[in-house]
Structure formats: C-alpha cells, structure tokens
C-alpha cells in the first residue's frame, strides 16, 4: 500500500487520522507488532536539549519617535544584543538580534531571556545612543515582531563527550568541570525519537515543511550549519509569541550559559520504506564518544545505553536532605530548578542529572546510563538532552494533528 501526503492531510481535515507518537510506535516495534502503512498515517517525533545555534530577531520599542537617531548598543535583562540590521532612524524602535548563548552573567543568558519573553515576564531594555541611555520595560506578548531562528538544531545523532586528559576541563558540554582520565561522560541527543533519525533519507523534513519550535508552529528553512549526510541537522524558524515556556530555557554550563530548544516534527507513513525508517531503535543508533579537547572520535557506544532501562526523570526524596546550609545542588542546578529547602524541584528541571553528584544527602536519584568503549564503561554524569520533554513535544504534536490543527508538509 502506498499513500500520499495529500491523502493523509485530507484524513487530518476529516479528523480520522491514525497518529502515533514516536514512543508509542517504538513500543509496538519492541513488542513485536508487524506494522504496515495501513495501520498508521503519521508518527510524531521530537527532540529537546541544549542547542547553541538558537537566536531571536526582535523589534523593540525603546522610546518615543525622535528620542534618538539610532541605537549604538542594546541589552535585554542585561543580555547584549546586536542592533539592526535596519537602523530604524529616529523611530525610537530598535530591530535587534540576540543569541541564545549571549549572557548577562554566568547564570543568565539568551536562553533564559527567551523563556522569560515566552512567560510574558517583565524585561528591562537598555539602549545607548549618542552617549545617552534610554530605558524601557517590555513584555514578550507586546513585541510587534519576535521570531526565533535556529542555525543548526535537531542533529540526527549527536555525541557523548569525555576528557581523555588527566585534568578536569570546563566546557559547554559539562555543568561542573569534566573529570579527566575517561572517568565521566556527558551526552546529547534524544535517540530514537529524534525527527531526523526517523527520516534518514530526508524525504519529508525539507525546506518549507512544518514543524513545532518550542511548541510554536514553525517551518524548516533548510539544513543547518555543519549539516552533513552522516550528521544532518535542521535550521528552523517560528514566531515566538506562541512558544510554550516549558519547552525552552537557559542552561548553565561550566563554560557559560546555553540555550534549551525543542523541536517536533510529523513523519507521514506513506509506504513500507517509511515503516522501515520509523522502526529504528535506540540500541541500533551509534553514539560517537568524542574527546572534548580535539573532538576526535575515540569509539562508538549506542543510545540504548542512555535511554533504555534507565530513568528519564529525576526523582527527589526531600526526607534525605541534610540541610547543608548553602545547598550545593541548588547552586549547581543549570536551570535553577531546585527550590530552597532541599529536594523540591520546579518545572524548569530538564532531568540532566547534575544534582546526583552535587548532593551529599542522596536526595536525588536517576539512572543516567553509561557509554562503553574499548571494554571500558564510563558513567554518564550529564544529559544535555531531555528525552522526557522530547516525548512531550511528540504528544503535543499528536494532539494538534488529531485536532486538525497541524498538517503535513508545507500545507
């Protein structure tokens, strides 16, 4: 049986599409079900994690028209942005670009700012022009223009990082300095639910195809920077006004703030080839283990060791809290998800695992898995991708398709 995208979109319009999330589809494969294109129309895939190549283009009203000629510099909550490219001469309005990796401090950066904009929190803007300072308070929902663009995101298969040298190293791939001697690994990538992993020939995830970016309807602009046939990634864009804060945020690494981004994509099931590609499982996806210094690949593990028979969510037992005074877990949590008082975690938690090693009271627990190279098992101390949120994006997209709110391709 062979279906067309138009036929599937017609079923979506009529409200009788069969949609599985990637996690539902994979479970059926693991259970030994033989699926055909007659059984399913669409599989929703997703990924959530630290994605450095995320930026926003905003248009911000700073002062009355005529107050200044053009902005020389501008910041939002202290995060520096680039005024322009349009000079907006004399309008009191500043078009700007802000990077998800720019930062105001070691704990607040563009990723935090993007989430605060989506949360409609108060944002302090400071612009300099001709030696004068102009200040304004803005809210994300009041911006006349706010678009997010990723220069590269949703890598099909990312890497695990280790430190082969003896001394610890601070890197964007670790929250606390990464111990040497191949004693710790950090890992990125959502494995079998990643959109590109399920469309390896890139039949559908092409320029113009619809996606969800942080929960907002967006489109694929094309391949991202450093995309290659072996390791493809996507450049995508969406309006920020409809973004859902839970899918985005800041993430503090030992080398500065980074940006959490989520992407969801719908893969239509047209034929047996689609079924074959969608049947990929974590254990079959190679995970290159890379030295964090020179990025040389030291060996290959697999995503099954990260996401199968492990925990996807952190658990907390406040009864174990030792009340250390200045809570080390709270201080080191890269998303500021730990509340004062010990063991209380907010929705900002991305299940990274940092609190496991920073808490002496064993308040937190989660099996984060390991990588295995050259007969050596190296424990994962940090996950920079959140499979739990990736699965939530899949569920969110499934619901929208079932509600006839999301169509396949560029429709």
In the complex, the residues that contact ligand SF4 under the rule CB under 6 A are 314, 321-324, 327-330, 333-335, 337-338, 342-343, 345, 349-355, 359-361, 363-364
Question: Number of H helices and number of E strands within the chain?
Answer: 8, 24
Instruction: Count the Cβ atoms, other than its own, within 10 Å of residue 274.
Output: 23
CB of 148 to ligand SF4, least distance (A): 22
23 contacts 396 by C-beta, under 8 angstroms: no
Judged by DSSP in three states, 95 sits in strand
Show the beta-strand stretches assigned E in 179-255. 185-187, 210-213, 216-223, 234-239, 249-253
Q: Which is nearer to ligand SF4, 42 or 345 (CB)?
A: 345
Q: Which is nearer to ligand SF4, 77 or 351 (CB)?
A: 351
Residues ≥6 apart with Cβ < 8 Å to 215: 242, 243, 244, 246, 247, 262, 264, 393, 396
CB of 118 to ligand SF4, least distance (A): 18
Q: Which is nearer to ligand SF4, 107 or 399 (CB)?
A: 107
CB of 26 to ligand SF4, least distance (A): 24
In which element (H, E) is residue 273 found? helix 272-278
Q: How far apart are CA 184 and CA 327, in angstroms?
A: 23
CB of 346 to ligand SF4, least distance (A): 8
Residue nearest to ligand SF4 (CB): 361
Q: Which is nearer to ligand SF4, 306 or 345 (CB)?
A: 345
CB of 349 to ligand SF4, least distance (A): 3
148 contacts 97 by C-beta, under 8 angstroms: no
**157, exposed or middle or buried, with CB in 10 Å at 0-12, 13-18, 19+?**
buried
Q: Which is nearer to ligand SF4, 108 or 364 (CB)?
A: 364
Q: Which is nearer to ligand SF4, 303 or 364 (CB)?
A: 364
Q: How far apart are CA 151 and CA 55, in angstroms?
A: 8
CB of 160 to ligand SF4, least distance (A): 17
């Amino acid at each position: 049986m062979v279906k067309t995208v138009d036929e599937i979109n017609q079923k979506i319009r009529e409200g009788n599409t069969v949609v599985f999330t990637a996690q539902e589809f994979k479970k059926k494969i693991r259970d030994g079900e033989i699926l055909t294109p007659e059984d399913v129309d669409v599989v929703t895939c997703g990924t959530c994690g630290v994605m450095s190549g995320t930026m926003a283009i905003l248009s911000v009203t700073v002062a009355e028209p005529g107050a200044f000629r053009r902005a020389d510099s501008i910041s939002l909550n202290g995060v520096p942005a680039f005024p322009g490219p349009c000079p907006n001469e004399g309008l009191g309005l500043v078009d700007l670009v802000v990077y998800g990796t720019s930062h105001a401090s070691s704990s607040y950066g563009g990723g935090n700012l993007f989430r605060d904009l989506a949360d409609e929190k108060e944002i302090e803007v400071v612009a300099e022009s001709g030696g004068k300072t102009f200040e304004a308070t803005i809210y994300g929902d009041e911006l006349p223009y706010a678009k997010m663009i990723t220069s590269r995101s949703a890598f099909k298969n990312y890497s695990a990082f280790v430190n082969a040298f003896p001394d610890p190293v601070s890197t964007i791939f670790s929250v606390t300095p990464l111990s040497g001697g191949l004693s710790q690994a950090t890992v990125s990538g959502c494995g079998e639910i990643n959109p590109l992993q399920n469309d390896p020939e890139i039949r559908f995830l092409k320029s113009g195809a619809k996606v969800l970016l942080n929960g907002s309807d967006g489109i694929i602009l094309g391949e991202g920077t450093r995309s290659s046939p072996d390791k493809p990634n996507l450049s995508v864009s969406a309006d920020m006004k409809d973004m859902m804060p839970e899918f985005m945020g800041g993430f503090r690494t030992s080398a500065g703030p980074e940006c959490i981004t989520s992407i969801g994509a719908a893969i239509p099931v047209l034929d047996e080839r689609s079924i074959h590609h969608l049947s990929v499982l974590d254990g079959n996806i190679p995970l290159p283990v890379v030295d964090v210094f020179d990025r040389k690949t030291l060996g290959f593990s697999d995503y099954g060791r990260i996401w199968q028979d492990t925990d996807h969510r952190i658990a907390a037992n406040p009864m174990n809290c030792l009340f250390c005074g200045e809570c080390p877990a709270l201080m080191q949590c890269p998303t500021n998800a730990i509340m004062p008082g010990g063991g209380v975690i907010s929705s900002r938690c991305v299940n990274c695992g940092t609190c496991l090693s920073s808490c002496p009271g064993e308040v937190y627990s989660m099996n984060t898995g390991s990588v295995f190279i050259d007969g050596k098992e190296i424990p994962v101390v940090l996950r920079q991708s959140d499979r739990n949120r990736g699965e939530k994006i899949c569920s969110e997209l499934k619901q929208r398709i079932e509600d006839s709110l999301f169509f396949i391709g560029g429709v």
